[in-house]
Amino acid sequence: MAAAATCAAAHGGAACDFTRKPRMFPIRDHNPSSRTPYVTIGLIALNLLIYVLTESWGGNMLRLWVENALYPLAITEGMRLPALVTHMFLHGGLLHILGNMLFLWVFGDNMEDQMGHAGFLVFYLACGMLAALAQVVTDPYSTVPMVGASGAIAGVMGGYLLLFPRARIDVIAIIIILIRRIVVPAWVILLVWFGLQLIMGLTSGADSGVAYWAHNGGFVAGILLTLPLFLRRGGTAFWNRTRGQPPHPATKFRPSHIPEVRRDRRGGPRG
């Protein structure tokens, strides 16, 4: 099965995911939502369920995957329009879905907290559809199927950037063989990510197999769709009240118990 997914490599086809370069993974923010994010949890559960059903070791429902993926040429010709929604619940590999769901978990809860459950669901689906259309516009005659939730999640990230630019995000950074946990403001990781997607979208050919313009379109859509809420909250006055962070107390995390391993002058590890 070939797949030009909006995120990760899928069944031997082209794709992209949040686990590709650079090796930086947000693992949590410091201000979890003040109420249970039922929609975010539900979206994660639904995506995982459908992934299992479409895998050979699960339900082996390959037809579900093939019939509900998004084919840009079909959309261009006004066919298979429901795929603008269904494609974002299909994934092409374990790293694909795990990377997407991690980003959704980190950034989705506070967006749902601000928008409400129903509002966030509409926002999420709208971002996913607009992201898909952005990819179709840039490659309208492609017959390679596109799947993945990353366009919708990019929208969540764009909205998060607008509302909470100074939120503290724990990031795992992998530099060659060095793995470290660092804390960075949300605007740093989100703008770096968007900048890389934009550069790759401008410099990569249509055959790159990575739906960069779905990411870019979703991110911009998320900012624009969040703008009315931001203005209702007072615009920059909202930032002044919240210091650019989710408007509830930060969680105090326990220090990590992972020991730091250093090398002595002879090159060997010491504890």
Number of Cα atoms under 13 Å in the Cβ half of residue 107: 32
Which ranges of the chain would DSSP assign to H, the alpha helix?
A: 38-54, 62-68, 72-76, 83-86, 94-115, 117-138, 150-163, 186-203, 212-232, 236-242
Domains of the chain, residue spans: 24-251
The 10s digit of each residue's pLDDT in 134-193 is: 999 998 998 889 999 999 999 999 999 999 999 988 887 766 555 667 788 888 889 988
Q: Are 184 and 193 in contact (CB under 8 A)?
A: no
- The residue ranking higher by pLDDT, 58 or 219, is 219
For 118-122, the CB contacts below 8 A with 24+ separation are 120/39, 120/40, 121/39, 121/43
At residue 17, the pLDDT reads: 39
Number of Cα atoms under 13 Å in the Cβ half of residue 119: 14
- The residue ranking higher by pLDDT, 58 or 160, is 160
At residue 31, the pLDDT reads: 79
Structural tokens at position 114: 């601000």
Nearest CA-CA partner of 17 in 125, 149, 177: 149
The 10s digit of each residue's pLDDT in 246-263 is: 877 666 655 544 444 443
Q: CATH number of the domain at 24-251, out of 3.40.50.1360, 1.20.1540.10, 1.10.3720.10, 4.10.220.20?
A: 1.20.1540.10
Question: Would strands 168-175 and 262-263 be described as parallel, antiparallel, or unpaired?
Answer: unpaired
Q: ∠ CA(245), CA(194), CA(184), 5° rounding?
A: 40
pTM of the predicted model as reported, rounded to 2 decimal places: 0.82
The 10s digit of each residue's pLDDT in 201-250 is: 888 766 666 688 899 999 999 999 999 999 999 999 999 998 888 877 66
At residue 169, the pLDDT reads: 87
The 10s digit of each residue's pLDDT in 78-102 is: 999 999 999 999 998 898 899 999 9
At residue 234, the pLDDT reads: 94
